[in-house]
Chain A
């Protein structure tokens, strides 16, 4: 199967955040069963997102191997030979052998198992969805608070500010409209009298994101509406848990995501 290896290597070496790094001992190569004896080979491992790369050394310029951490579980393992601090990445696919790895101490072992267990795209997506809905709820309750104290201002500002935010989002997309995002953010700022901190401070993180040529995101965007359809059961559980904890201080919240 072809893979855009040059781009993958570039991503591995880029300064985008590594989620975990360290020396691990490894047995065998991906795709072959681990050899039952030997102390393994000590390599420098870098975890970025859902991708685990290994290098000959910290300064390696080409990854030795890649493991895509989707559809797998990470378990503590019986090492071959008296190796302590071993763990395995196990895939639920036919003919795919577990990747056996050993850390240099108990703390490192624990840290790696945790980091690898949370590496999947699905896990990140779950957390993003949860935070997106929490932000919507928090802003709604804030707007409602202001609405009751500054009724006329809030009722005319709120819908307009929403429009502003979706325009800012669209401008953040590469290759679309050419309005200056800075100008629009200033507008949002000046209309924020009837609203909370949230809209006024959109400038901060939005400019952070815009500066990198990436789309800024906002709860008012339809972009994330597709994220709402992913994890019915788990997301409902998380939301219930959060709502129970926040009970009492929350007015009725609009239930927007349906699985």
Chain B
């Protein structure tokens, strides 16, 4: 699959929702914990060597699972292979909790579900479709029928 690294690099420089230096361990057996600057930008998690400007890698956060591991540690895995985990070690329980909350909300699909939920609730309470005023009520991305997965 081709993609433009420069585009991803530019994205990694966008304002981040969360950024911190964490311990990170890849999913392969025997991987070593490394210090990485971890940055959450939209639905991507970028990780950098602490002294470098360009990311080592990126994780798309769609269909991911965020799991508590040992105290202060969480992992990210993906629906199609839940045992293949990226581990992250935080410096405190609070930081760990903060990251887990942020990562669970970080996917586009999560936002889509929220939007559809709110749209429906508003329709029930007010009898009106809140998207009509913006002229986007017919957009495919906002339809209830989109919730299939």
A and B: partners?
yes
The distance in angstroms between the C-alpha atoms of A2 and B142, with both chains bound, is 32
**B118/A17 in contact, CB under 8 A:** no
The distance in angstroms between the C-alpha atoms of A1 and B66, with both chains bound, is 23
- Which residues of A are found within 8 Å of B148, using beta-carbon distances? 15-17
| B5 smallest CB distance to A (angstroms) | 5
**B80/A50 in contact, CB under 8 A:** no
The distance in angstroms between the C-alpha atoms of A28 and B147, with both chains bound, is 34
Number of interface residues of B (CB under 8 A): 70
Q: Given known contacts A1-B56, A128-B114, is B7 in contact with A205 (CB within 8 Å)?
A: no
A14 interface residue, CB < 8 Å from B?
Answer: yes
B29 interface residue, CB < 8 Å from A?
Answer: no
A181 interface residue, CB < 8 Å from B?
Answer: no
**B3/A65 in contact, CB under 8 A:** yes
Which B residues, 74 to 112, have Cβ-Cβ distances below 8 Å to chain A? 78-81, 101-102, 104-105, 108-112
Number of interface residues of A (CB under 8 A): 81
Which B residues, 26 to 83, have Cβ-Cβ distances below 8 Å to chain A? 42-44, 54-60, 62-68, 78-81
The distance in angstroms between the C-alpha atoms of A151 and B17, with both chains bound, is 42
A31, A120, A142: which has the most chain B beta carbons within 10 Å?
Answer: A31
Which A residues, 1 to 59, have Cβ-Cβ distances below 8 Å to chain B? 1-11, 14-20, 29-31, 48-51
A150 interface residue, CB < 8 Å from B?
Answer: no
The distance in angstroms between the C-alpha atoms of A139 and B28, with both chains bound, is 49
- Which residues of A are found within 8 Å of B42, using beta-carbon distances? 50, 70, 120-122
A253 interface residue, CB < 8 Å from B?
Answer: no
**A17/B146 in contact, CB under 8 A:** yes
**A10/B63 in contact, CB under 8 A:** yes
**B8/A3 in contact, CB under 8 A:** yes
Contact of A96 among B6, B60, B64 (CB under 8 A): B6
* Contact digits for A220-240, partner B, Cβ 8 Å, 1 yes 0 no: 000110100000000000000
Residue ID in chain A nearest B60 by CB atoms: A8
Which A residues, 176 to 213, have Cβ-Cβ distances below 8 Å to chain B? 196-198, 201, 204-206, 208-209, 212
- Which residues of B are found within 8 Å of A197, using beta-carbon distances? 124-125
- Which residues of A are found within 8 Å of B131, using beta-carbon distances? 127
| B2 smallest CB distance to A (angstroms) | 4
Interface residues of A (CB under 8 A from B): 1-11, 14-20, 29-31, 48-51, 62-68, 70-71, 91-96, 115, 118, 120-122, 124-125, 127-128, 130-132, 134-135, 138-139, 142, 173-175, 196-198, 201, 204-206, 208-209, 212, 214-217, 219, 223-224, 226, 241-242, 245
Selected A-B contacts with CB under 8 Å, 20 pairs? A3-B8, A3-B58, A9-B1, A15-B148, A17-B147, A30-B2, A30-B3, A66-B2, A95-B6, A96-B10, A115-B139, A120-B42, A130-B130, A131-B130, A135-B122, A138-B126, A173-B104, A196-B125, A241-B133, A242-B133
Inter-chain pairs besides A8-B60, A68-B11, A226-B102, 17 sampled, C-beta below 8 Å = A6-B80, A7-B80, A10-B80, A16-B62, A30-B2, A31-B4, A93-B9, A96-B4, A121-B108, A134-B122, A135-B125, A174-B104, A205-B120, A208-B147, A212-B149, A216-B117, A242-B133
